[in-house]
């Protein structure tokens, strides 16, 4: 599954494996979570600061993994096939950890030449016209999204909205987008 996912979704910027050690000291994999970027800031900035504080970067040829993460994140954004200068909407829940993680990734994307906007929940978005085009409060069409909220939440809200609005519903100008 992972190989297929990586082959069919080449523009994934972040992901996380969740591991556990069982009672017999065996390493087990719980899941691969492609939507989660938690601990990126900690791994990059804090690990790097700790390594420098204990002198790791002073040894010839040694640097912390946090040091390299910055370069790799910027390279991932450059390789994502998002046109230089295009806006990436960073969609997060109203959660401090998600927001500071998104701000860190926005810094990497900005350094890679992209325009970034933090969008907490979906108050930022509305429809433009009746064709279903989604725009942000600046009137910029939403084309590139980095998100931490779960697809399951979005689909659940979609089906709830469909039930409330009925099958004949069509988007109207300036109507808020209904996603959790």
Kindly give the pairing relationship between strand 133-135 and strand 126-128: antiparallel
Give 38-66 pLDDT, tens digit per residue.
677 777 788 778 888 887 766 666 677 77
Please compute the mean of the pLDDT values over residues 167-175 and round it to a whole number.
78
What percent of the chain has pLDDT above 90? 23
Average pLDDT over residues 7-25: 76
Size of the chain, expressed as the number of residues it contains: 180
The confidence band for 35, taking pLDDT boundaries of 50, 70 and 90, is low
Query: pLDDT confidence of 164, banded at 50, 70, 90?
Result: confident
Query: CB burial class (10 A; 0-12, 13-18, 19+) of residue 109?
Result: buried
The whole-angstrom separation of Cα 112 and Cα 7 is: 23
Could you tell me the pTM of the whole model? 0.76
């Amino acid at each position: 599954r992972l190989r297929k996912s990586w082959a069919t979704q080449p523009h994934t910027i972040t992901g996380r494996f969740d591991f556990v050690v069982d009672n017999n000291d065996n390493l087990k994999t719980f899941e691969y979570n492609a939507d989660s970027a938690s601990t990126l800031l900690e791994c990059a900035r804090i690990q790097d600061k700790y390594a420098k504080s204990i002198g790791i970067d002073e040894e010839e040829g040694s640097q912390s993994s946090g040091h390299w993460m910055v370069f790799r994140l910027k390279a991932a954004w450059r390789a994502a096939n998002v046109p230089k200068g295009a806006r990436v909407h960073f969609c997060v829940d109203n959660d401090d950890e998600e927001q500071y993680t998104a701000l860190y990734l926005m810094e990497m994307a900005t350094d890679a030449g992209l325009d970034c906007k933090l969008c907490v929940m979906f108050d930022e978005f509305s429809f433009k016209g009746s064709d279903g085009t989604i725009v942000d409060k600046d009137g910029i069409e939403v084309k590139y999204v980095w998100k931490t909220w779960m697809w399951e939440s979005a689909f659940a809200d979609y089906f709830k909205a469909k039930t409330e609005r009925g099958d004949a519903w069509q988007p109207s100008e300036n109507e808020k987008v209904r996603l959790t």
